[in-house]
Structure 1
Amino acid sequence: MNTLTTFRAAGAIALLALAAGAAQSQAWPAKPVRLFVGSPPGAPSDITARLFAEQLGKLVKQPVVVENRPGAGNSLAAMAAAKADPDGTTLVLSPDTVLTVNPQVYKSGDFDPKRDLVNVSVLGSFSQMLVCHPSVGVKTVAELVAKAKAGRVTYASGGPGVPGHLATEMFLEAAKVRMDHIPYRGPAPATQAVLSGEVDCGFLATPTVLPQVKAGKMAALAVSSSTPSPLAPEVPTLAQALRQPHLDVSFRLVLQAPKGTAPAVVAELEKRAREVMATPDVRTRLQNHDVVAIGSSSTQAQAVLDAEMARWEPVVKRLGLKVE
């Protein structure tokens, strides 16, 4: 085969690939879409997923069904999505910790979220609220720091490497103090442990604990984001409480598709994601659940995740986190 024939053949193949990608984009989605979430109902990722699914379904004229698959720090849902057909009809929404922390904590030879999933968009961000049981006798971060320096204080989380665990450890490092970590299998039992007084404190999802705070069953000390929560503007930020203005412990919610999903389909998904998250009603409804709507491009999502990996890697190494 001469050179000209070779170029012609290569060109024909390229055109066929482009045509196939365009056809797949135009046909997407040809069937209902599944959106996996690695957290239980009521968590920030679940709330965001359900609102996003509702709006996306209206745009693409197909049902978008949310499936909760909690476990392994949200990794089970990501693994299930990675093993699905890469046709754009199986997606996953996860906290950024699935990509930035979990690969160092949960060792799995057949799954790597950075290798097996494609970033579509950062849909939003969320923070956590530091709460303590009333019996601990503290109402401010300063009082908690003083109590931790004087004796043993415990904190609960939904497991190693989850946002609540990381937020607390970032707080402890900034405050130069120590508290004992009591991990649970998910945020619900961790919340119940603090509510019952079994564990002293914890960084937990604001919408989940705020009713308990208002009922006097928990004391709210701070929020982990750099700006106050719209749900509880009277609660100081961790940065304010520690007088460290650059301290921001917030987390991102990342929409992903299986590796191998056609670029044209990823582009269409990204376009729809940005469209949904720019809707004023969506932004307001998410704000009412303490989630900040973003809707980034795929490229922006990767840049954000690279920065988060650089931030959390030394924390994970310092803590020696590992779950076999």
Structure 2
Amino acid sequence: MSAAPLARRRALLAAAAALPALPLLPRPARAEAWKPQRPVTLLVPFAGGSGTDAVARILAELLGPTLEVPVVVENRAGANGTIAAMAAARAAPDGHTLFMTTNTSHSANPSLMKRIDYDPVADFTPIARMGNLPFMLVVGEAVPARSVEELLALARRQPGRLSYASGNSTGIVAGATMARMGGVEMLHVPYRSTPPAMTDVMAGRVTCMFVDLAAGLPHVQAGKLRALAMSTKERSALMPDMPSMAEAGLAGFDITSWNGVFGPAGLPAPVVQTLNAAIRRAVERPEVQKRFAALGFEAFSGPPETLDAFVRAELVKWRELIEAAGIEKE
């Protein structure tokens, strides 16, 4: 090596040694999976004994071991689901308060109610869709009708005398749609939730109602209610022998409830990812699918983005259903 380059090298080394020591920069930390620090509350907008309550309790049972904390179902029924929805929207966005809800709060209410104090899109973080909860038209055993055609004929002979109960928005819209499409006049009797509505149908105080399979099927099997048709366009795989409302003569009748899990707006991405993964793992297990099917619940899930797009589309769909049924905002 020549003298000139060697001298330059020595000068550079000396200059470097004179600089103050710089702290070592930490390596970027990998994002850690979120873990809840206390029990998680799963809010449900309907009373115990409703279909959504039954689905929520199975989900809570499955999520607890995965999240390593208890998941507690809390029923806040009333005001067509708005009480629970507002509580969920106002909760801290930390993953410890979740909302298992349906199209009642997140699709129909904006078109049924003159005022709601929450926005189904802006005030919530979508976490995971849970599946569909098909409805069926049922009557009390004392009602002299064994088909939709016979029920509508009975209503035509007694205008305004027959009634339909509802415990949620699906029941409201399905009942009004049946009356409009069937060309009959029926009295609407609203309830805070499904169980008390079913009680009055079984007792003969109300003629009929649309009820989800999870809540109504045990009473049909016990002979306390008579099922006439599914509320869907086609027959349900869960009840293949029961005709659809379309088959029963009301072409185009297609009303189904859905379930999903949400958190408050602003829920951090790691929280959403952890919860979505836990829910999807639970729902996709074959033995869990069998448990849900026994309730009459069509369980499936997907990423949060699909639930967000689905809710936006359902808001439009339910507005059109409600307008077509001639239901005015209250």
TM range (shorter): 0.7 to 0.9
1:46-93 deviations in whole A, cap 9, x for unaligned?
A: 111111111111222221111111111122112111111101111000
Aligned to 1:319: 327
Instruction: Give, as a single letter, the amino acid of the residue that structure 2 aligns with 1:270.
Output: N
How far residue 31 of structure 1 moved from its aligned partner, in angstroms, is: 2.2
How far residue 222 of structure 1 moved from its aligned partner, in angstroms, is: 0.8
2:305 paired with 1:299: yes
2:55 paired with 1:48: yes
Within 5 Å, which residues of 2 pair with 1:1-324?
22-23=31-32, 26-108=33-115, 110-152=117-159, 153-158=162-167, 162-229=169-236, 232-242=239-249, 244=251, 247-317=253-323, 318-322=326-330
In the alignment, the residues of structure 2 paired with residue 27 and residue 299 of structure 1 have an alpha-carbon distance, to the nearest angstrom, of: 19
- The gaps in structure 1 that reach 5 residues or longer are 1-17
Q: Is the 8 A contact 1:120 1:269 kept in 2?
A: yes
Q: Is the 8 A contact 1:56 1:64 kept in 2?
A: yes
How far residue 232 of structure 1 moved from its aligned partner, in angstroms, is: 4.5
Q: Is the 8 A contact 1:132 1:219 kept in 2?
A: yes
In the alignment, the residues of structure 1 paired with residue 329 and residue 29 of structure 2 have an alpha-carbon distance, to the nearest angstrom, of: 46
In the alignment, the residues of structure 1 paired with residue 90 and residue 120 of structure 2 have an alpha-carbon distance, to the nearest angstrom, of: 11
In the alignment, the residues of structure 1 paired with residue 227 and residue 246 of structure 2 have an alpha-carbon distance, to the nearest angstrom, of: 15
**DSSP-derived class of the 2:49 partner:** coil
How far residue 164 of structure 1 moved from its aligned partner, in angstroms, is: 1.4
Judging by fraction of residues, say which structure has more helix.
Answer: 1
**DSSP-derived class of the 1:204 partner:** strand
Instruction: Give, as a single letter, the amino acid of the residue that structure 2 aligns with 1:279.
Output: R
In the alignment, the residues of structure 2 paired with residue 42 and residue 121 of structure 1 have an alpha-carbon distance, to the nearest angstrom, of: 23
Instruction: Give, as a single letter, the amino acid of the residue that structure 1 aligns with 2:306.
Output: Q
In the alignment, the residues of structure 2 paired with residue 223 and residue 169 of structure 1 have an alpha-carbon distance, to the nearest angstrom, of: 15
**CA distance 1:71–1:236, shift in 2 (3 Å):** same
Structure number, greater radius of gyration = 2
In the alignment, the residues of structure 1 paired with residue 182 and residue 69 of structure 2 have an alpha-carbon distance, to the nearest angstrom, of: 49
Q: 257-266 or 27-36, which moves further after superposition?
A: 27-36
Q: Is the 8 A contact 1:230 1:288 kept in 2?
A: no
Identity %: 35
Q: Is the 8 A contact 1:38 1:75 kept in 2?
A: yes
In the alignment, the residues of structure 2 paired with residue 304 and residue 177 of structure 1 have an alpha-carbon distance, to the nearest angstrom, of: 33
Work out the number of aligned pairs and report it.
299
